[in-house]
Structure 1
């Protein structure tokens, strides 16, 4: 969901996100009240309004609460994460975080009393007192926050929003960070996975009854490993006969390429670490699919019932309009995440946490559930917004959760996105949030060549150019048209964090900035993501002859994030400690040669053949050349740190032992 970036230009950070300056409301707050800064979406303007919100409409929302000592929390979080700090790895327990930093019981009571006095039904307050949930009618919301709710036309959707900044009683101004759920700004969050095909899966009719997603299969020819088969039938592309794309790497190939097989010989396979995976909804066939997948493709490493658990929030009933979340699409995301994480770290425990929907509240609820109770040591998140166009209070609320994760020694990984520099969709280059948060590790994507022996022969940045073979000619000609790639770039929201200083080139950190300012650059690290060199996964899908398990190749930074989470789980078990927030340690590794594989540009391409109807040859075949590391974006793969692959990718035992 796009918002004007001018909302964020007034933000300032000192290790975290400070409150935005007021002034965006269409009218001043009433006496005795205080605005919540930047809580009014700029797309909610009179020209876009199509209707009023029905006063009796039901709304669920959340009032986020400020930390008692935000600066102190960030200082401690930085200390426990920095190898040069005396407090390195001296993580806090959830109880210690509550005692020192989160909102007090008195603050929670004051907010609850105000909400209940306004007629709202009070819902959950999590153990870390991050927020107070409430439910009521649109009329109650309008009166409590002194706004008028309407429906606005936004990019083909009709979304709810207020007509100006929300406000709260002045006595609560210092306690309330923001309110999430009154508008529908984040209702179009999408998972970052892709098959790289041109066909789209059919959307479900509703999350509560979503059938398995539309079926997809690889066509042949394809290769068991990179370079096994070469297309000698079709015309040369850019003067070369191209190798056929791999059919999809299996877990053993990826463990070998990233050196995890060497760690396994030392007894390190991820045991002792729990990887949490956060997505929306929950596939009803996930354990059957993931265990079948392991049995078929990695039989020495089954996914046992003791290793896998779920915490799934009840599905929200549809509130206004049709389901916008494509529940069955999220089933595919969950399947990829679980199978990739287990495949790379077969000894780790997997906890799947499913949000009740993909909208305002649910994904943060799922993430906060993991952090507040320290339910896992690593969290992989394979979804994001298009750019950084979210309300300031929503971003700050997320950052507080991420800071608590760092305090507790929990590593939080986010995929960097699948649309390159986002210029085609936004009109201007931008990284995606939440990968751009300085308190998470942003995982970029690569194209990976694994040979017959399991060796990484090359790895380059994932930015794909596509040329379709039609009537004996490739259109467009080399390097083709952009067809997806890893997200990256320089944030307009967050200034340069300390761990990037002196390592990220000024030519990157000064992009999108004014004056002498420097910004946070995405990503931090990378792993395989290109669907043309992607991973084989297995999932129950809906085919013309019924719904059943089948396998296909998939990619996206949704693959990179759980792959890297698996790498770090193996590092945990090899090093006998949990690494927590790894960015400060990662950037210090650049002084130690050989620990990180420097991902550079490679001139290469593969030939790909797809079923036109996604499932069989009855509709014909589509042949295309897929160029690696497409050059015509504003982000590029270069020697050293770059804004496609970050520092590079893990380099086997040297990385695992020193990270």
Structure 2
């Protein structure tokens, strides 16, 4: 049974984690609380870390005034506050709340004295970067580094909490990079063919040598819109002949379904807003692929070179081959994110920021880059942990970056995950981090039926039940076996944030809690995610006959997050304001109104035909019935707020004008 990560909760303004100072210990040192991963158990240890191996890490620094920063963040995002949307500049945030120059110098001096090579300090003074040998890390932080088996990977971690000199106990928030916990973050996209519990394939090559991802195509028959074609040749499922799954919706179909075409007629298409997309690595063909995709599927809205920029962190040197991860798998994530964001908001600028490596993914560095320099108005993040078992000091580091984003008026969106309630993987229900963090907007997923005229026929929660047709029989029977769905549930890490009070039912907020406490519930809002009613994407892939561009249907909350980011970019241009952290407005102004489409359960299923080998019919076809909004989970789509779709999905112009 998985052990839950236990952290010290504070009833701060948002109900989240605060910067707990390092705790005093013997010999003039102080522990960094909860900096030891729960999964780094002696029974899971497989080897010691070689003393000469290189470790790159970042020492995050406490804010000077954590409570003041949280109060200011609530004020600029609360529509009832006189400071509503009076955002601070990055310089104002740094000068008012960031660690002082003296604190930065003290930490740098300690690290330098311990023999580490020091790197740059970001403009917001969030952390100090350093690198050195594993032996130096062990001596500096008074730990022993080992390699542990966790969730199919072998990851580095310390044997106990890290510690620092007692004189720095008030300065250090946490350390990212000594352990490899953030390697547990994964892209939240799926083609819906494989089971969500299938392990990630490891690549032998590093980020600069990884080939395009393995090729995938959709087999026919499929429909140009929901209900266009019905399977009349295969046996009925539950007494009904099912419609074939859509081939993949185009940008125009999604703009129509979510009412963005109405905003376009008013001159609002996202222009004036920059959407940043944060992932790991960088696809070498991304601009060519996204341009070709727009040319084929949305020719009136090309992705111009002036609209697209990239900032790619250089690969971390010295990675050991066994520790390298699926770089090419992240190429597909980037491609989906860019094409979806541009497809929904064709006038917006796109900034792609790629993390440096797969040792710890460096996603915190990439995210902080955008926030520290206010490089974008919206940030879409389509990745997360399986559950919330990230060490608490690393959680607090991510939380601090998102808090600064709120102060600056940057909206940070995270996909809620693709494994439903996570019971199948973890044995107990849990939302995924980072979507569960209180200062971000968690985007859940839906199954979306778009009709011939582009209108939304219905929308329900994305939780898939799969029954495979074998020798004329569907196995297993209705409602099938769980095959992926939107993440959600009640956090064990974070208390109930102010914006969810009075809106989220107590029956949900008190789950996973003790003594009547209430927790943060995920998600906040939702958008299309089901790969069985998914989005058409185009990407250079590796096929048996070579590497070239092709198109296929895809989904996951990796689709929902950039799609909703596109909706908000259009809202920015329509309302002539950057909306920033949208949660207080979502819950206080748009909930219980027609601006939000209350996503509810719909009884439905589609028929899907796939190539067994994912490429062609040479190995045969696989036919399956896919039940929409699979019922056998601990999270459910219901009337009102629910833990699959949150408040619901955006409802065209009423939503765009009210937010």
- Compute the TM-score of the two structures, normalised by the length of structure 1: 0.97
Give yes or no for contact 1:251–1:343 (8 Å, CA) kept in 2: yes
Q: How do 1:3-42 and structure 2 match up within 5 A?
A: 4-8=3-7, 13-15=12-14, 16-19=16-19, 29-42=25-38
Give yes or no for contact 2:8–2:17 (8 Å, CA) kept in 1: no
Give yes or no for contact 2:294–2:302 (8 Å, CA) kept in 1: yes
Give yes or no for contact 2:37–2:389 (8 Å, CA) kept in 1: no
Post-superposition offset of 1:165: 1.1
Give yes or no for contact 1:257–1:456 (8 Å, CA) kept in 2: yes
Post-superposition offset of 1:42: 2.9
1:372 corresponds to 2:372: yes
Distance 2:567 2:451 in 1: 20
Distance 2:154 2:455 in 1: 50
Give yes or no for contact 1:205–1:323 (8 Å, CA) kept in 2: no
Post-superposition offset of 1:9: 6.0
Q: How do 1:138-537 and structure 2 match up within 5 A?
A: 138-198=134-194, 203-206=202-205, 207-317=207-317, 319-360=319-360, 362-537=362-537
The 1:243–1:250 alpha-carbon spacing in structure 2 relative to 1, beyond 3 Å, is: same
Map of 2:578 onto structure 1: 578
The 1:237–1:608 alpha-carbon spacing in structure 2 relative to 1, beyond 3 Å, is: same
Per-residue displacement from partner, 1:248-284 (whole Å, max 9, x unpaired)?
0000000000000000000000000000000000000
Per-residue displacement from partner, 1:518-549 (whole Å, max 9, x unpaired)?
00000000000000000000000000100000
Give yes or no for contact 2:21–2:173 (8 Å, CA) kept in 1: no
Map of 2:55 onto structure 1: 59
Map of 1:50 onto structure 2: 46
Give yes or no for contact 2:259–2:653 (8 Å, CA) kept in 1: yes
Give yes or no for contact 1:282–1:334 (8 Å, CA) kept in 2: yes
Give yes or no for contact 2:44–2:148 (8 Å, CA) kept in 1: yes
Give yes or no for contact 1:491–1:520 (8 Å, CA) kept in 2: yes
Give the gaps of 5 or more residues in structure 1.
none
The 1:318–1:416 alpha-carbon spacing in structure 2 relative to 1, beyond 3 Å, is: farther
Per-residue displacement from partner, 1:289-313 (whole Å, max 9, x unpaired)?
0000000000000000000000000
Give yes or no for contact 1:286–1:335 (8 Å, CA) kept in 2: yes
Map of 1:92 onto structure 2: 88
1:657 corresponds to 2:657: yes
How many residue pairs match? The answer is 654
Give yes or no for contact 2:21–2:170 (8 Å, CA) kept in 1: no
The 1:649–1:307 alpha-carbon spacing in structure 2 relative to 1, beyond 3 Å, is: same
Distance 2:632 2:374 in 1: 43
The 1:591–1:148 alpha-carbon spacing in structure 2 relative to 1, beyond 3 Å, is: closer
- Compute the TM-score of the two structures, normalised by the length of structure 2: 0.97
Distance 2:27 2:61 in 1: 22
Per-residue displacement from partner, 1:180-206 (whole Å, max 9, x unpaired)?
111112222110000001287864322
RMSD: 1.6
Map of 1:111 onto structure 2: 107
Secondary structure (helix, strand or coil) at the match of 1:275 reads strand
Post-superposition offset of 1:43: 2.8
Post-superposition offset of 1:591: 5.3
Post-superposition offset of 1:49: 2.6
Give yes or no for contact 1:80–1:90 (8 Å, CA) kept in 2: yes
Give yes or no for contact 1:379–1:412 (8 Å, CA) kept in 2: yes
Distance 1:387 1:48 in 2: 19
